[in-house]
Structure 1
Amino acid sequence: MFPEGLTFSFADAVNRGVDWLVTRYGDVFRTISDTLLQAIVWLEGLLRGTPWWALLLIVAALAAHATRRVLPTLLITGLLFLVGALGLWDKLMQTLALVLVATAIAVIIGIPLGILCARSARLRLVLMPLLDIMQTMPSFVYLIPVLMLFGLGKVPAIFATVIYAAPPLIRLTDLGIRQVDREVMEAVNAFGANRWQQLFGVQLPLALPSIMAGINQTTMMALSMVVIASMIGARGLGEEVLVGIQTLDVGKGLQAGLAIVILAVVIDRITQAYGRQRHEVER
């Protein structure tokens, strides 16, 4: 047995810090929560209110533009049609709204942080261990403070998803910018381009395939949080899986799980195709 005299705990300090945040900035968190909730409810209403055939046409158009091939486009559209045929269309739209909002927030946070990491070795030294913690710590652990700050529902599910899904985008943005050829940057400097011109005119366009790969990975990781998010009040396909687990309804859980896989495949194929397309143009 480990000696009790050598043990310590920081749990009380963490609890006091969270309590202080709730007491001091409760109104700020409530405002953030209300704003995000309005955004996701609006997007969810838009998706659910759009005719199913119109959404299929939009997805087919995106797939055709990304892949430029008929067979993948038909396959992607057919897979989404299958989800509707299984009676899970509304649940699919709820999940898609959650994933889109979480991915958008992750992109807004992740790309600027990746750019800053690429420009500052000190920031990278501090941030990379934090990203390791965010990815390896069980998601249930950071659900606890998120629940205390935002309560139950869609908003804490979004924040928990962002915490888990943002690190790949930060890493790949940082990597893509740092891998831009030095000779290219020297030539740009020789023409007198300032830092903003270098960033938006050269570095970001050349790093775009890596950034697109990061967005792809972030979206996939956001989808992997769907079932866990359903445990704290998020609706959608994850809720169907959870109900299947609770009632030992294997068929119900398998159908919802298949729908999640289909959504992941659709998003993965489209985002990967856009990334490859950009890479081929640059080559």
Structure 2
Amino acid sequence: MSNIPQLPLAQWIDSLVNWLAHFEGFFNAVTAFLGGIVAGFQFIFDHIPIPLFIILVIGLTWYLTRHTKKYGLLIFELAGLLLIWNLDFWRDMTQTLTLVLTSSLITFVIGVPLGIWMARNETVNAIVKPILDFMQTMPAFVYLIPAVAFFGIGMVPGVVASVIFAMPPTVRMTNLGIREVDPALIEASNSFGATSWQKLVKVQLPLAKNTIMAGINQSMMLALSMVVIASMIGAMGLGTKVYFAVGRNDAGGGFAAGLAIVILAIILDRITQAFNQQQSH
């Protein structure tokens, strides 16, 4: 094996990163844009009184689940949010929520159109699929290196790393949902003279909505799973509490912060599922 010359893969990647560094203005603009979204979410969360925030979450959940008349989730949300408040993790929780919502918003804006494009163009589908495989299987820690190189430290590189890690389910499920629409319905819309845009908006997207929402839900959960990893590059929130607890060998503090992440994850998961079910009625 020693006679086989080694490919300078690491050097090639370093050269690519150094070349991309010349586009500093572009990355600064992206940083400012994402930083503005993060600051906007955090400003809203910081200025909503905690009792009002809890009431709004419970009210939204009740509205979305009023047809099922299952009140266990409402009790869980009340107890969970009060516990987070009691443990003095409230601002950490809102910072984590800001990271997840920003990442999910960008994932939705980019992932859904890309999934639609894949469903309607086989060439794009063949190109993007291996890229999605790469994004899903690459260890999440690896995304931190270019994120820091191009966007510095803080919430913005955490958002970028989370978007890359969390986007594949949204793209894949959107692609799948569009492709699973009954061809007979497409033929019927063609017979009525529907344009390509009308077929997409009035036939394909409504019928694929449940599948697309499932992908968005999975992306949101993946973004939440990145909060501890993103804390290593300065993303604030509950992940920072867990990261510091690991460094101090503080089992109790780490478990408490981890429990707060679990509570937030369950609330976000159930709300998005309830929204999907409510829209289906």
After the TM superposition, which of the residue ranges 258-267 and 140-149 deviates more from structure 2? Answer: 140-149
Post-superposition offset of 1:4: 4.2
Partners of 1:53 and 1:142 lie apart in 2 by 37
- Per the alignment, residue 211 of structure 1 pairs with 212
Amino acid at match of 2:45: L
Partner of 2:92: 91
**TM-score after normalising by structure 1:** 0.95
The answer for the alignment partner of 1:257 in structure 2 is 258
2:162 alignment counterpart: 161
Aligned to 1:61: 59
Matches of residues 1-283 of structure 1 in structure 2 within 5 Å?
Answer: 2-23=1-22, 25-68=23-66, 69=69, 70-279=71-280, 281=281
Residues 100-159 of structure 1, C-alpha deviations (whole Å, 9 max, x = no match): 001100101100000001101111111111111101101121221121111111111100
Deviations 1:58-111 (A, max 9, x none): 111221122223332232232222211221111000100111001100101100
After TM superposition, give the deviation of residue 181 of structure 1 in Å.
0.9
TM-score (norm 2): 0.96
Runs of 4+ residues deviating >6 angstroms: none
Secondary structure of the 2:234 match is coil
Mapped partners of 1:193, 1:120: distance in 2: 19
Equivalent pairs, count: 278
In structure 2, C-alpha distance between the alignment counterparts of 1:180 and 1:81, rounded to whole Å: 44
**Equivalent-residue separation in structure 2 for 1:165 and 1:223 (angstroms):** 9
Mean CA deviation greater in 174-183 or 141-150: 141-150
Superposed displacement of residue 5, structure 1:
2.2
SS in structure 2 opposite 1:5? coil
- What is the one-letter code of the residue matched to 1:42? G
Q: 1:128 to 1:58 in 2, by over 3 A?
A: same
Q: Distance in 1 between matches of 2:63 and 2:211?
A: 20
Task: Name the aligned partner's letter for residue 53 of structure 2.
Answer: L
Identity rate of aligned residues, in percent? 44
1:4 and 1:261 map into 2 onto residues whose CA distance is: 52
SS in 2 for 1:222: helix
Alignment partner of 1:274: what SS?
Answer: helix
Q: Is the 8 A contact 1:67 1:73 kept in 2?
A: no
What amino acid maps onto 1:218 in structure 2?
S
Unpaired runs of 5+ residues, structure 1, are none
Q: CA RMSD in A?
A: 1.2
How many angstroms apart in 1 are the aligned matches of 2:3 and 2:259?
49
1:42: Cα distance to partner?
Answer: 2.3
Alignment-mate amino acid for residue 47 of structure 2: G
**Matched position secondary structure for 2:233:** coil
The AA in structure 1 aligned to 2:31 is: S
Letter in 1 for 2:7: F
Equivalent AA in structure 1 for residue 2 of structure 2: P
2:167 partner amino acid: A
Q: Contact between 1:208 and 1:278, CA under 8 Å: does it hold in 2?
A: no
In structure 2, what is the Cα distance between the partners aligned to 1:271 and 1:9?
45
Task: Tell me, yes or no, if the aligned pair for 2:144 and 2:230 is still in contact at 8 Å.
Answer: no
